[in-house]
């Protein structure tokens, strides 16, 4: 196989990142490549900006699905790469360009070499939000074509190329987005007594929020509350009438997720009373945990341990989220971390994964899918 084409594909996809459910150019690019493959064994379907490609097995006993997410993030790329994002304010900062090119590499192999088992490649939109996995699972296509097993990967900048990390059971956290709008009364900067300042109110809220994980959650039951964005006001000498706080909640247990949301509700009520303002909370999209099936993951780990070019790491759970968890709620399978050796991590504008991981993973997954 000509592996360098998948590096070229990754670079082309890297230049056109699109946000969740807006991945029309990405879909067009993927479809154009998939239609250039031998069509003898494959059937293509689309769902919104996503794509299903079924590769008919020669003597199938099951359907094995492989899912790649296709959306980018709303962030500025800070690398000086010759193939950096051409879409201002958008970047493949979570490696979905790698996920797609690896999937195309594996698909290319099986479009040319019919597999024994039927394979279903799922190119899924909107993983970063608002979530494409759940509606895709409810699509007519997946209702009629339920796979028997499903796998997916996520790039891991902290591991070298050649390392695969995963674990049986819980891999990723439950997540909930968090958006809070505070509304008070604007006014002249010099007359604070006539106004009700939402920059101050939202700042108190963000400070109080820090006590939830440290004081309300069992330290042995990990949780994270991160505020990634605050906006408010219009000008430096106008007291802000409005402020908006945006964040995400991560927990390993659903019980802690409930507790955190209760505490946020109470803190927000306190801010409303204390600052005589009004506030509304929106929990946006929520993802369930990623829970790897014990038996299927165990077999994958045994497969990895027999490979001389793979370093297997049994990792801990991570507080990342992934709507792939919804697939795993209904279909046995697993997700794994793929080492890509970048000095900068996921969601960094400087993320620069090592492309040697692409041919390595195509080969590995082709071998694995032949062995299942
Ligand atoms: C692997 C990864 O980075 N996934 C994202 C998922 C985002 C979930 C949701 N939009 C949220 O922000 O809560 C992550 O940030 O972990």
128 lines ligand 1 (CB under 6 A): yes
Write the CB contacts of 349 (distance below 8 Å, at least 6 apart in sequence). 75, 76, 77, 78, 79, 91, 93
Q: Is the pLDDT of residue 211 over 90?
A: yes
Summary mean pLDDT of the chain: 98
Q: Supply 370's token pair.
A: 């032949």
What is the structure's pLDDT at 1? 83
What is the structure's pLDDT at 151? 98
Contact criterion met (CB below 8 Å) for 119 and 303? no
DSSP H or E stretch at residue 359: helix 357-371
Q: Which CATH class is domain 174-286?
A: alpha beta
* Proportion of the chain above pLDDT 70, given as a percent: 100
Q: Is the pLDDT of residue 73 over 90?
A: yes
- CA pair distance 348, 32, nearest whole angstrom: 30
248 lines ligand 1 (CB under 6 A): yes
Q: What value does the mean pLDDT take over residues 5-33?
A: 98
Contact criterion met (CB below 8 Å) for 176 and 284? yes
321 lines ligand 1 (CB under 6 A): yes
Probe ligand 1: pick from 322, 324, 344, 353, max atoms within 8 Å of CB? 322
Q: What value does the mean pLDDT take over residues 172-199?
A: 98
For ligand 1, atom 4, name the residue with the nearest CA. 321
**The two domains 3-171+289-371 and 174-286 share their CATH topology (first three levels equal):** no
320 lines ligand 1 (CB under 6 A): yes
What is the structure's pLDDT at 335? 98
Annotated binding-site positions for Mn(2+) = 94, 96, 128, 154, 347
Identify the burial level of 372 via C-beta atoms within 10 angstroms of its C-beta, where 0-12 means exposed, 13-18 middle and 19 or more buried.
middle
Ligand 1 centroid vs 127 CA: distance in angstroms? 8
DSSP H or E stretch at residue 346: none
Q: What value does the mean pLDDT take over residues 284-295?
A: 97
Q: Is the pLDDT of residue 332 over 90?
A: yes
Q: Is the pLDDT of residue 14 over 90?
A: yes
Ligand 1 centroid vs 344 CA: distance in angstroms? 17
Orientation angle between helical segments 96-112 and 24-35, nearest 10 degrees: 20
Give residue 259's pLDDT band: very low, low, confident or very high (50, 70, 90): very high
Probe ligand 1: pick from 74, 175, 222, 335, max atoms within 8 Å of CB? 175
Question: Strands (DSSP E) along the chain, which ranges?
Answer: 42-47, 50-55, 63-69, 118-124, 149-156, 163-166, 169-172, 174-183, 187-188, 223-232, 238-239, 242-251, 278-282, 286-287, 290-292, 311-314, 333-339
The domain 3-171+289-371 is placed in CATH, from the list 3.40.1190.20, 1.20.1440.230, 3.40.630.10, 3.90.1200.10, at: 3.40.630.10
Q: Is the complex ipTM higher than 0.95?
A: yes
Q: What is the CA radius of gyration of the chain?
A: 23
Could you identify the atom of ligand 1 that is nearest to the CA of residue 130?
Answer: 10
- CA pair distance 229, 245, nearest whole angstrom: 6
Probe ligand 1: pick from 73, 92, 128, max atoms within 8 Å of CB? 128
Ligand 1 centroid vs 100 CA: distance in angstroms? 18
3-state SS, residue 33: helix
Give residue 157's pLDDT band: very low, low, confident or very high (50, 70, 90): very high
Ligand 1 centroid vs 138 CA: distance in angstroms? 21
Give residue 145's pLDDT band: very low, low, confident or very high (50, 70, 90): very high
Ligand 1 centroid vs 161 CA: distance in angstroms? 23
What is the structure's pLDDT at 169? 98
Ligand 1 centroid vs 110 CA: distance in angstroms? 31
Annotated binding-site positions = 94, 96, 128, 154, 347
The set of catalytic residues is: 69, 128
346 lines ligand 1 (CB under 6 A): yes
Contact criterion met (CB below 8 Å) for 325 and 176? no
Phi, psi of 209 (to 5 degrees): -55, -30
DSSP 162: T
Q: What value does the mean pLDDT take over residues 102-109?
A: 98
348 lines ligand 1 (CB under 6 A): no
What is the structure's pLDDT at 133? 98
177 lines ligand 1 (CB under 6 A): yes
Domain ranges in the chain are: 3-171+289-371, 174-286
Q: What value does the mean pLDDT take over residues 182-197?
A: 98
């Amino acid at each position: 196989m000509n592996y360098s084409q998948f590096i070229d594909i990754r670079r082309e996809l890297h230049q056109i990142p699109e946000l969740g459910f807006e991945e029309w150019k990405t879909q067009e690019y993927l479809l154009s490549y998939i239609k250039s493959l031998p069509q003898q064994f494959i059937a293509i379907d689309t769902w919104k900006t996503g794509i299903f490609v079924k590769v008919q097995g020669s003597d199938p006993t099951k359907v094995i699905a492989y899912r790649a997410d296709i959306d980018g993030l709303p962030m500025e790329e800070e690398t000086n790469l010759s193939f950096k994002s051409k879409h201002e304010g958008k970047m493949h900062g979570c490696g979905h360009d790698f996920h797609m090119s690896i999937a195309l590499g594996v698909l290319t192999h099986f479009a040319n070499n019919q597999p024994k088992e039927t394979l279903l490649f799922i190119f899924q939109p909107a993983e970063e939000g608002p979530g494409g996995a759940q509606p895709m699972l409810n699509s007519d296509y997946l209702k009629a074509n339920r796979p028997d097993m499903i796998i997916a990967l996520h790039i891991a900048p902290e591991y070298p190329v050649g390392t695969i990390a995963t674990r049986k059971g819980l891999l990723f956290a439950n997540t909930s987005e968090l958006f809070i709008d505070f509304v008070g009364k604007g006014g002249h900067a010099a007359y604070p007594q006539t106004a009700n300042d939402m920059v101050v109110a939202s700042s108190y809220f963000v400070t109080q929020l820090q006590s939830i994980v440290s004081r309300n959650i069992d330290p042995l039951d990990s949780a994270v509350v991160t505020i990634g964005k605050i906006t408010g006001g219009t000008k430096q000498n106008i007291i802000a009438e409005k402020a908006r706080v945006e964040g995400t909640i991560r927990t390993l247990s659903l019980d802690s997720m409930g507790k955190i949301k209760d505490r946020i509700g109470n803190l927000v009520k306190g801010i409303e009373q204390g600052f005589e303002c009004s506030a509304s909370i929106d929990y946006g999209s929520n993802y369930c945990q990623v829970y790897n099936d014990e038996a299927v993951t165990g077999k994958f780990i045994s497969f990895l341990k027999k490979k001389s070019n793979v370093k297997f790491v049994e990792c801990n759970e991570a507080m990342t989220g992934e709507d792939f968890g919804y697939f795993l709620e209904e279909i046995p399978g697993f997700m794994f971390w793929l080492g890509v050796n970048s000095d900068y991590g996921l969601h960094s504008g400087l993320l620069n994964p090592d492309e040697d991981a692409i041919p390595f993973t195509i080969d590995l997954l082709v071998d694995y899918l032949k062995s299942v």
